Amino acid sequence: MQTPTKTDADHQLPTAIEPRNPGMALDLDWVRTAQANTSAIERRAKTLPGRRSVKKDYQAAWLCRAISCIDLTTLAGDDTEGRVRRLCAKAAQPVRADILEALGMTGLTTGAVCVYHDMVPTAVDALSGTGIPVAAVSTGFPAGLSPFHLRVAEIGESVKAGAEEIDIVITRRHVLQGNWQALYDEMAAFRAASGDAHVKAILATGELGTLRNVARASLVCMMAGADFIKTSTGKESVNATLPVSLVMIRAIRDYYDRTGYRVGYKPAGGISKAKDALVYLSLMKDELGDRWLQPDLFRFGASSLLGDIERQLEHHVTGHYSASYRHAMA
């Protein structure tokens, strides 16, 4: 049977009506047998930048798709309401109108705007009528070490304020100690507190020690009902990498093969160039297929990435590169 689709008016993309991952009982046998061949994964990852190359109109189309999958983010201690409102304006109009007109694109926006809880009301107000969701980082972001009841309460407050997506951080020690039941229970509690808001589980992969730990943590979070699994907070010393992405994407594929539910993927931190976005999109296409190239199943956690993509699109249209300061985010 063909999957029913609806039109996403904000992105002008066909989006499947996707059932939400309900989670499942913790399967420790599955978790403990999950492995990661680090040397093979790293060899495969090294080949990725040179394996796929799209040019001219095709590249422009892929870059527009990348924009629709960006969670445009500001997570700075000096964030102000004015900065957040300017970022939201950029999310609603990510590329200059004349460039979009030359490309024949209409209705292009970013996938979401991601902010701290304190800025959720401002972002919700600024994005009113655009259809762009607000994502809030939560649960003691970025370390996730505040008291558990406060982390759960923070989720509820962000949902009450209008956040439609919640980016939670897991407790890293559960992974490092192999305490999979504790990780499962924590993630399940976060999912329950989120209600109808979709949950992105941030694994902070740069702090998990091994790719095997990344694979197992990915599975446990999906079993507990995560709608997305995400690499990083962007605050760690090592953020999104291709080897980590390969491991997490294959865990998503295994989960889908076994349960029939699609879980999204979000690489975050350190992805700032258009050429990097193309590599990640091609990786998703190769490993998971076209369905995972939609914003409901794939997001970039980024801010400066959009500026570089806009520069590349202007070059495609005019044949000239503009200065980066002409594409300010906020």
Q: Active-site residue numbers?
A: 167, 230, 266
**Cβ atoms 134, 115 nearer than 8 A:** yes
**DSSP H/E element including 113:** strand 112-115
d(CA 308, CA 311): 5
Total residues found in the chain within this entry? 330
Q: Measured between alpha carbons, how far is 159 from 152 in angstroms, rounded to an integer?
A: 11
CA distance 249 to 286: 10
- What 3-state class would DSSP assign to 165? strand
Distance CA 145, CA 160 (A): 23
Instruction: List the one residue out of 149, 152, 123, 150 whose CA is nearest residue 136.
Output: 123
